[in-house]
């Protein structure tokens, strides 16, 4: 499958109070056309900073201090702001969690939805309006003709979010980056929008990067999963590998935190402790203060990524034992 996005050893740092701290510490991943990568982890783990780095939308005190971001083979970290803006309006689309900051309060919904269609497509005026109505229908907005004439403040928060999603999908982007896109919406609308993104992914070969903390959403939409903890990728794999054979203790903790819908009395088995501050230097594995399996080695040495399969990697010393076991098994056989 054709590769769309390739991120290599990304390090993103921030200057705060005269100090330079790294929020993303050597992150690598790739996304193919027609595939969804879900980035998961607790809030503050570096998921959103990773996507903002890719989009060239870091705040002024942030910078990519190492690594590369390639989109369709082109290096994005070297691009001018203006070129990045063009790319974002057209080939790469984004959906954020707070729609009010992203919609312009001055213009009608119709203007904001139809303007990009007029600029980026060859559709006639009537076709543009037809497509806008169709998109609003698809994101579950009733009475779309009326909505086109309204301003953002006349819509509920959930509706504004759906308008944002319609705008993001209007120009058939090749890459969609969505940060907790449906978190604020009720489950029916959430399912409808996830289905819509999934359809576009398949019909248009769109690549999707979705940031979420909801493992239910991951199970539904992901092809690949990347688990982040304290600025590191701790496990990557196909959705099957992550759900049926999770390796990293943090991934296991995240999966155990998913409530069992069949049992209303079951409590959430949360991971004890909390994420370290991004400026907190921790020796060894950054998860060790919270890990029930931590050994002396874990407290001293940061584990590398161990391969479990060609698509499945885990950054945990426990996996070294597995690999060594496999090797001695192989030796015993030969
Ligand atoms: Fe836990 Fe050690 Fe694995 Fe880190 S390397 S996740 S501390 S077992
Ligand atoms: Mg976030």
Q: Which one of 127, 149, 172 terminates a domain?
A: 172
Question: Quick one: which H or E segment has residue 102?
Answer: helix 99-102
Whether the per-residue pLDDT at 296 is higher than 80: the answer is yes
In the structure, what pLDDT confidence band is assigned to residue 327 with cuts at 50, 70 and 90? low
**Cβ(178)–Cβ(6) under 8 Å?**
no
Q: Does residue 273 lie within any of the structural domains?
A: no
Token pair listed for 42? 């607790």
pTM of the model: 0.89
Assess whether pLDDT exceeds 90 at residue 256: no
Question: What is the β-pairing status of strands 232-238 and 224-229?
Answer: antiparallel
Using only the alpha carbons of the chain, give its radius of gyration: 21
Q: With a 6 A CB cut-off, is 287 part of the ligand 1 pocket? A: yes
pLDDT confidence band for 223 (50 / 70 / 90): very high
Q: What is the pLDDT of residue 159?
A: 87
What's the 8 CA to ligand 1 centre distance in angstroms? Answer: 24
pLDDT score of 228:
96
Q: Where are the alpha helices (DSSP H) in 139-286?
A: 144-148, 157-170, 187-204, 215-221, 239-244, 249-256
Same domain membership, residue 37 and residue 58 = yes
DSSP 106-162: TS-HHHHHHHHHHHHS---HHHHHHHHHHHHHHTT-SSHHHHHTS-GGGS-HHHHHH
Q: What is the mean pLDDT of residues 72-92?
A: 91
CA–CA separation, 162 vs 185, rounded Å?
9
| Structural domain count, the chain | 2
Kindly give the number of the ligand 1 atom that is closest to the alpha carbon of 293: 8
In this structure, the answer to whether residues 70 and 106 fall within a common structural domain is no
pLDDT band for position 17 (cuts 50, 70, 90): confident
Q: What is the mean pLDDT of residues 108-118?
A: 93
So what's the pLDDT on residue 260? 52
Q: pLDDT at residue 234 above 90?
A: yes
pLDDT band of residue 326 (cuts 50, 70, 90) is low
Residue 101 falls inside a structural domain = yes
**Among 291, 299, 321, 323, residue to substitute to test ligand 1 (most atoms within 8 Å of Cβ):** 291
Establish whether residue 329 lines the binding site of ligand 1, counting it when its CB lies within 6 angstroms of any ligand atom: no
| Phi/psi-derived region of residue 149, left when phi > 0, alpha when psi is between -120 and 50, beta in every other case | alpha
Question: 265 in a domain, yes or no?
Answer: no
In a shared domain, residues 168 and 181: no
Same domain, 216 and 253: yes
**Mean per-residue pLDDT, 108-115:** 94
Tell me which residue has its CA closest to atom 3 in ligand 1: 316
Helix (H) / strand (E) element for 212: namely strand 207-212
pLDDT digits (tens, 9 = 90+) for 189-204: 888 889 888 988 888 8
Structure tokens at 65: 């201090």
Alpha-carbon dihedral 290, 296, 300, 302, rounded to 10 degrees: -60
Taking only the tens place, the pLDDT of each residue in 41-72 is 988 899 999 999 999 999 999 999 999 999 99
Does residue 230 lie within any of the structural domains? yes
Q: Are 26 and 143 found together in one domain?
A: no
For residue 125, what are its two tokens? 């005026």
Atom of ligand 1 nearest to the CA of 297: 2
Nearest ligand for residue 39 CA: 2
The answer to the question of residue 275 being in a domain is no
Residue 63 lies in a domain: yes
Please tell me whether residues 150 and 241 are part of one structural domain.
Answer: no
201 and 295 in a single domain? The answer is yes
294 and 201, same domain (yes or no): yes
Give nearest CA residue, ligand 1 atom 6: 316
Which residues sit opposite 68 in a β-bridge?
8
CA 144 / ligand 2 centre spacing (Å): 30
Is the model's pLDDT at 267 over the cut of 70? no
271 token code pair? 């991971």
Structure tokens at 1: 């499958």
Could you tell me the distance, in angstroms and rounded to a whole number, from the CA of residue 45 to the centre of ligand 2? 8
Task: State which H helix or E strand residue 83 sits in.
Answer: helix 81-90
Instruction: Specify whether 213 is located in the same domain as 135.
Output: no
Tell me what percent of the residues of the chain surpass a pLDDT of 70: 91
Domain boundary among 135, 153, 172: 172
| Residue 333 clears pLDDT 60, i.e. is over it | no
With b for 16 or more beta-carbon neighbours within 10 A and e for fewer, the 16-29 pattern comes to eeeeeebbbbebbb
How many whole angstroms from 3 Cα to the centroid of ligand 1?
A: 32
- pLDDT given at position 268: 43
Q: Domain for residue 51, yes or no?
A: yes
Same domain, 64 and 164: no
Domain span at residue 101 reads 92-172
In the three-class reduction of DSSP (H, G, I as helix; E, B as strand; rest coil), residue 91 is classed as coil
- Ligand sitting nearest the alpha carbon of 291: 1
The pLDDT mean for the chain works out to: 88
Q: Could you tell me if 200 and 310 lie in one domain?
A: yes
Q: Are both 47 and 99 inside the same structural domain?
A: no
Asked if residue 85 is part of any domain, the answer here is: no
**Domain closes at, from 138, 172, 206:** 172
CATH number at residue 70: 3.40.50.300
Question: Helix crossing, 109-120 with 125-138: angle to 10°?
Answer: 120
168 C-alpha vs ligand 2 centroid, how far in Å?
Answer: 19
Using pLDDT thresholds of 50, 70 and 90, give the confidence band for residue 102: confident
Q: What pLDDT shows up at residue 224?
A: 98
Alpha-carbon span 70 to 166, nearest angstrom: 26
Q: What is the pLDDT of residues 121-152, one digit of tens each?
A: 899 999 999 999 999 998 889 999 999 999 99
Query: Is the minimum distance from the CB of 215 to ligand 1 under 6 angstroms?
Result: no
């Amino acid at each position: 499958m054709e590769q769309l996005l390739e991120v290599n050893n990304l390090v993103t740092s921030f200057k705060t109070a005269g100090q330079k701290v790294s929020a993303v510490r050597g992150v690598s991943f790739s996304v193919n056309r027609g595939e969804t990568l879900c980035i998961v982890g607790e809030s503050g783990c570096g998921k959103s900073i990773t996507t903002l780095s890719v989009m060239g939308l870091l705040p002024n005190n942030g910078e990519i201090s190492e690594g590369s971001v390639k989109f369709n083979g082109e290096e994005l970290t070297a691009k001018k702001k203006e070129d990045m803006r063009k790319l974002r309006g057209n080939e790469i689309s984004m959906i954020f969690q707070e729609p009010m900051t992203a919609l312009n309060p001055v213009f009608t919904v119709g203007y904001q939805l139809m303007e990009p269609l007029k600029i980026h497509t060859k559709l006639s005026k009537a076709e543009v309006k037809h497509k806008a109505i169709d998109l609003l229908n698809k994101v579950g907005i009733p009475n779309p003709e009326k909505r086109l004439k309204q301003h953002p403040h006349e819509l509920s928060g959930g509706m504004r979010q759906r308008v944002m999603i319609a705008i993001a999908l209007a120009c058939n982007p090749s890459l969609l980056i969505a940060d907790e896109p449906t978190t604020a919406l009720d489950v029916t609308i959430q399912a409808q929008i996830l289905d819509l993104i999934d359809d576009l992914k398949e019909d248009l070969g769109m690549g999707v990067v979705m940031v979420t903390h909801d493992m239910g959403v991951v199970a539904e939409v992901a092809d690949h999963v990347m688990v982040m903890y304290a600025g590191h990728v701790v496990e990557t794999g196909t959705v099957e590998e992550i759900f049926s054979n999770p390796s990293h203790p943090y991934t296991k903790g995240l999966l155990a935190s998913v409530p069992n819908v069949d049992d209303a009395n079951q409590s959430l088995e949360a991971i004890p402790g909390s994420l370290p501050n991004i400026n907190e230097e921790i020796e060894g594995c950054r998860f060790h203060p919270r890990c029930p399996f931590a050994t002396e080695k874990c407290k001293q040495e940061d584990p590398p990524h161990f391969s479990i399969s060609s698509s499945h990697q885990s950054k945990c010393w426990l996996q070294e034992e597995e690999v060594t076991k496999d090797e001695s098994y192989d030796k015993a056989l030969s």
